[in-house]
A and B are shown apart, each in its own frame.
Chain A
Amino acid sequence: MTSIGEALVSQLVARDVDTVFGIPGVHTVELYRGLASSGIRHVTPRHEQGAGFMADGYARVSGKPGVAFVITGPGLTNTLTAMGQARADSVPMLVVSGVNTLSSLGKGLGHLHELPDQRAMARTVALWSERVEGSDDLLPAMDRAFRPFQSGRPGPTHIEIPLDIAGDQYVETTVTPGYLTEKPEDMALIDKAVSRLAAAKTPVLLVGGGACRESAAIRFLAERLDAPVVQTVNARGLMYGHPLSVPASPSLQAVRDLIEGSDAVLALGTELGQTDFDMYATGNMASMSSLIRVDLCPDQMRRHEAEVAIVGDAGVVAAAILEALGPATASLNGARRAEAARRGAFEEIGADMRALHDILVAMRRAVPDAIMVGDSTYPIYAGNLYYDHDRPGGWFNASTGFGALGYGIPAAIGAALAAPNASVLCISGDGGAQFSLPELMTAVDENLPITFVIWNNHGYQEIATSMQAVGVTVLGCEPTPPDFEGVARSCGMPFWRIGPDAAEVAQALTAAQSHEGPRLVEIRAPNQSHSS
């Protein structure tokens, strides 16, 4: 007999899922019945929030949905923050949870792990949430859960299986999964975009996370248009070292000047969201005189005025535009415009941020082609403002969008599992690291070659600075960090402690790389909030 729980696992295998992050419980044992023999790798985090962030990191690197198995109630509430982050950053993620017996739902009987309405809760962060109440529901639910991963804007989805259903016999249904046929892009709109771009004298590309896998298409299009390419945080690494690359935040004035000086702006796969385009909350963003938007999400199109709005995949549309444009005719000083923006932006971020930028560069040189996963911490803020990474899709963090602390450590674990041959660097602050410190042991369990870098400035310095700025007596910003050396030793990890100096960083990271399995590097940074 095959149980419904086992059938769900078979469905995951059929849909090319090879890794599941989860913590089993009495409510989900049926999901584990088929798991051991399914060939799926199971990774056990130390908290369901870790499971969610690992699935996120895994998805961002592999391009495949990250899958988490969690128990009823607290298992799901623990995963919510990770689902919120995945939604804000359009990351494909499937969370499968248990739920109490079908007959008990909504009655408030005081069952273990009970919630009044689990799906209503999941829906407040997920794109979609569904319950499997019998064999007939399984395939349609799986199809719906995976649909956002195949077409449209990705995000987290949720399936729950009641405790008394998961073990029931699975009766194969004859339903054949219906696949959506991709709607061909609207050629009339593409022609309109092409004629605008062909006539442009100062074109600029704004590229977001929706295009982070389209390195070649974006580069060819940029070169053809001779257009500087401004990359949001989630698009960094697309154009490393390229003369047209502007790896700087569009919140900076120099980058805004570039955009405002453009007579045709092509935005590909970017939400034009506040954490990229107006992170200083000035209430406006660079004005775009002639905006052409390409995005998977129709809802997005209504939120900003655009001259041409094309709903579609950034890579496909970029290729179509490139083909329709034909060969270039004249130079438009793209490289010069890009360089001016880069130079202005770098100047603008100030000496402190430039020093942090230099540390990131030292890391990049010491560990080329790495995946750099970040938490909310100063070096990451600096990099989000200005930093050119050398690997497409190799720079991501949670200080944008939902902005969840504690993302770094588990997301780096997911990334390392998705790309076993890549070097993975995780950069967290001491405050953020403490949010998810227990997950270090998961990296030890899986023997993952991750270098965890902890920027220890002894507290939530960003918050302390912000309190000072508005005249609030600083309170609650100094969580005493643990002795990170002791933490590393207790987990059996090699450890280095260094100062915030580029040369020291390069040396320690190079040394760390030669160790198999996870390692910890603490950078003792000054806490500037103390001095004022």
Chain B
Amino acid sequence: MKRPLGAQISHMLKDRGVDVIFGIPGVHNQEMYRGIEEAGIQHVLARHEQGAGFMADGYARATGKPGVAYVITGPGLCNIMTPIGQAYSDSVPMLVVSSCLDETQALRGQLHQMKDQCLAAGTVADWSARANSAEAAYALVERAFEEFELLRPRPKHIQVTIAQLQAEADPAPFPNQPALRTKALPPDVSSVVSMLNLARRPLFILGGGCKSNDWRQILTQLGAACFTTYAGRGLPGANYPLDFGASLPRPGSAEVIASADLVIAVGAELGEVDLWRSDLGHSATLIRVDLDPEVLSDHHRAAIKLQTDSESFARALWQATENLKPATGWLSDEISETRARWRAEVDAERPGIAAVADALRAAMPADTMIYSDMTQFAYVAKEVWDMAYPHHWHHPTGFGTLGYGLPAGIGGAVARRGKPTAVIAGDYGFHYTMQELGVAVELGLSLPIILWDNGKLKEIEDSMVRSQIAPNAVVAHNPDFCKLAEAFGARASAPSSLAEMQSAVRAAFDAPVPTLIHVTPDIL
């Protein structure tokens, strides 16, 4: 049936598996809102478009499905650019649909008008395009979903003119049955297998691009050791004896990598935020497996490059090495010693946090999905908190934006009703997006929010001290966070011991609303 195009777009998204849309309505995009409930999609109303964007990100990371956000022209789009930038750097599938003005050259000074909205989004998104017709809008949505499936997932922006959103249009064509894609053909791993045949100390580096295959089985079959990036944590499961953990940024990791006689990096960008140094440190052959040619061509000088998705690679590798004898060059005792040493280093750098992290971990079910903000707590936890499951800890890694944790956690909790989700944020980062607490209350999410409050931008203060700058502008007055949470209708707790913190966390998973758990370094 004919409907305004704005409504048809929501129906089209529903047909492609979209169940939740995050956004804020305005006069410009109201036609898009016409179709949301009609199509049977849940709408989650954020308090700021930045919140909507991070929620869509959190939802996408939890489900692997694209996160969708609806925003208005101009400020709505500008407000969501930070989340788009974050999704770009962390390869998160996200679709942002905005309204735009019909005429921008002859008419100036229109409400929400900006210099060039499409171009602005294009500087942070994978691509940004304007639809002047229903056909164009449908083609762009189709393209976005095809690319989410086939390419490195990244955010896309589609803007549709107000006049077109209002105009009656035929429905979008119904999606084809999943087509057989060449991607499904197994990649040729013979060269990898022949190198593995010779290797005594093969080392895998697993990144966020690895899907949830059973990497532990593969690593065990090969006798391979591994590192994970921040986004790849949990891929080998808990307590894999040859796991060096998410310790790539440790200076000592370069030595370990240099001692490997074959290094295979899968779905890992090996960027600055993965290594905190420019070179990996390998002396042996490096094999890279990635969807993105840009990654394959980088300065790490891979000797063998496979452009494929990690799942197909893992499957092919598993089948091709079933009869291979596992390598014997790695000793689990040495690895656990190394890890104990690194843990001591972490604890010396930022004292005390590791103990709190241990207590927190013990109080959470193993399948808890955690969303962290930019906080020293998360920097420490990354290295000392081994994950039992992959893709269960999400962090704004590359772009590095404050204010990610809470809204992304809300997106995750919406996707995971009935399963445990938690947020860990610092006091400054929490401040960035705290108003989204109202959303979590509205939705009745049983969300523990651990607020690590050191009363300042401690990481920046440390950096100023290192640069011999008298620390300034790093201490801000904090509100009474517990009262503030209660003003939003959330629960709050300020535990004074680790045991109290643990019971607060356990209670929070059963509470009908989110619970702010205010933790300061004094807890130790």
Write out, one digit per residue, whether chain A residues 49-71 have a CB within 8 A of any chain B CB (1) or not (0): 10000000000000000000000
Chain A residue with minimal CB distance to B117? A124
Counting CB contacts under 8 A, is A74 at the interface? yes
Cβ-Cβ contact count across A and B, 8 Å cutoff:
283
Contact of B435 among A49, A303, A435, A475 (CB under 8 A): A435
Counting CB contacts under 8 A, is B486 at the interface? yes
State which of A80-88, A211-219, A307-315, A366-374 sits at the interface with chain B.
A80-88
Counting CB contacts under 8 A, is A176 at the interface? no
Write out, one digit per residue, whether chain B residues 22-44 have a CB within 8 A of any chain A CB (1) or not (0): 01111100110110111000010
Given contacts A115-B123, A476-B23, contact A441 B478 (CB under 8 A): yes
Residues of B within 8 A of A108 (CB): 294, 298
Within 8 A of B (CB), among A268-297: 271-276, 279
Given contacts A406-B48, A434-B48, contact A472 B31 (CB under 8 A): yes
Given contacts A74-B401, A110-B274, A402-B114, contact A35 B473 (CB under 8 A): yes
Write out, one digit per residue, whether chain A residues 454-497 have a CB within 8 A of any chain B CB (1) or not (0): 00000010110011001011011111111111110111100000
Residues of A within 8 A of B38 (CB): 473
Residues of A within 8 A of B400 (CB): 73-74, 112-113
Given contacts A125-B115, A487-B487, contact A475 B269 (CB under 8 A): no
A472 touches B75 (CB 8 A): no
Contact of A402 among B31, B108, B112 (CB under 8 A): B112
Counting CB contacts under 8 A, is A401 at the interface? yes
A84 touches B399 (CB 8 A): no
Residues of B within 8 A of A22 (CB): 473
Given contacts A46-B432, A78-B82, A403-B75, contact A479 B47 (CB under 8 A): yes
Contact of A29 among B82, B469, B486, B488 (CB under 8 A): B469
Counting CB contacts under 8 A, is B16 at the interface? no
A273 touches B27 (CB 8 A): no
A490 touches B109 (CB 8 A): no
Contact of A87 among B50, B81, B114 (CB under 8 A): B114
A49 to B82, CA, bound (A): 11
Interface residues on A, range: 35 or more
Counting CB contacts under 8 A, is A114 at the interface? yes
A467 to B473, CA, bound (A): 44
A138 to B489, CA, bound (A): 50
Residues of A within 8 A of B478 (CB): 441
Residues of A within 8 A of B24 (CB): 460, 476
A490 touches B107 (CB 8 A): no
Distance between A8 CB and nearest chain B CB, rounded to angstroms: 14
A120 to B124, CA, bound (A): 10
Counting CB contacts under 8 A, is B460 at the interface? yes
Residues of A within 8 A of B33 (CB): 467, 472, 475-476
Interface residues on B, range: 35 or more
A485 touches B487 (CB 8 A): yes
Counting CB contacts under 8 A, is B370 at the interface? no
A109 touches B298 (CB 8 A): yes
Within 8 A of B (CB), among A17-60: 22-26, 29-30, 32-33, 35-36, 42, 44, 46-47, 49
Residues of B within 8 A of A120 (CB): 119, 123
A445 touches B114 (CB 8 A): no
A490 touches B123 (CB 8 A): no
Distance between B490 CB and nearest chain A CB, rounded to angstroms: 9
Distance between A101 CB and nearest chain B CB, rounded to angstroms: 9
Residues of B within 8 A of A273 (CB): 108-110
Residues of B within 8 A of A499 (CB): none
B82 touches A437 (CB 8 A): no
Given contacts A84-B75, A84-B114, contact A480 B438 (CB under 8 A): yes
A74 touches B114 (CB 8 A): no
A116 to B121, CA, bound (A): 12
Counting CB contacts under 8 A, is A498 at the interface? no
Distance between B426 CB and nearest chain A CB, rounded to angstroms: 12
Counting CB contacts under 8 A, is A333 at the interface? no
Within 8 A of B (CB), among A104-155: 104, 108-118, 120-121, 123-125
Distance between B282 CB and nearest chain A CB, rounded to angstroms: 17
Counting CB contacts under 8 A, is B403 at the interface? yes
A491 touches B120 (CB 8 A): no
Residues of A within 8 A of B399 (CB): 73-74, 112-115
Residues of B within 8 A of A125 (CB): 78, 114-115, 120
A466 to B428, CA, bound (A): 37
Residues of A within 8 A of B433 (CB): 47
Counting CB contacts under 8 A, is A444 at the interface? yes
Residues of B within 8 A of A401 (CB): 109, 111, 113
B27 touches A77 (CB 8 A): no
Chain A residue with minimal CB distance to B465? A29
Counting CB contacts under 8 A, is B480 at the interface? yes
A85 to B74, CA, bound (A): 9
Counting CB contacts under 8 A, is A207 at the interface? no
A480 to B513, CA, bound (A): 14
Within 8 A of A (CB), among B466-513: 467, 469-470, 472-474, 476-484, 486-489
Within 8 A of A (CB), among B73-92: 74-75, 78-79, 81-82, 85-86, 89
B467 touches A30 (CB 8 A): yes
Residues of B within 8 A of A479 (CB): 45, 47, 438-439, 442
A32 touches B472 (CB 8 A): yes
Write out, one digit per residue, whether chain B residues 183-201 have a CB within 8 A of any chain A CB (1) or not (0): 0000000000000000000
Residues of B within 8 A of A111 (CB): 271-273, 398
Residues of A within 8 A of B81 (CB): 77, 80, 121
Counting CB contacts under 8 A, is B12 at the interface? no
B294 touches A274 (CB 8 A): no
Residue of B37, B432, B434, B481 most packed against chain A (CB within 10 A): B432
Given contacts A25-B460, A32-B472, contact A482 B488 (CB under 8 A): yes
Contact of B85 among A73, A84, A123, A124 (CB under 8 A): A73
Counting CB contacts under 8 A, is B358 at the interface? no
A463 touches B26 (CB 8 A): yes
Counting CB contacts under 8 A, is B459 at the interface? yes
B114 touches A26 (CB 8 A): no
Distance between B141 CB and nearest chain A CB, rounded to angstroms: 20
Given contacts A24-B474, A124-B115, contact A490 B460 (CB under 8 A): no
Residues of A within 8 A of B464 (CB): 24, 29, 32
B434 touches A275 (CB 8 A): no
Chain A residue with minimal CB distance to B271? A110
List the 5 closest pairs (A to B, CB-CB), nearest first. Answer: A110-B271, A273-B109, A486-B487, A121-B123, A74-B401
Excluding A463-B25, A475-B36, 10 further A-B contacts by CB distance (< 8 Å) are A47-B431, A49-B79, A74-B85, A104-B272, A109-B299, A401-B113, A467-B25, A476-B36, A479-B45, A490-B481
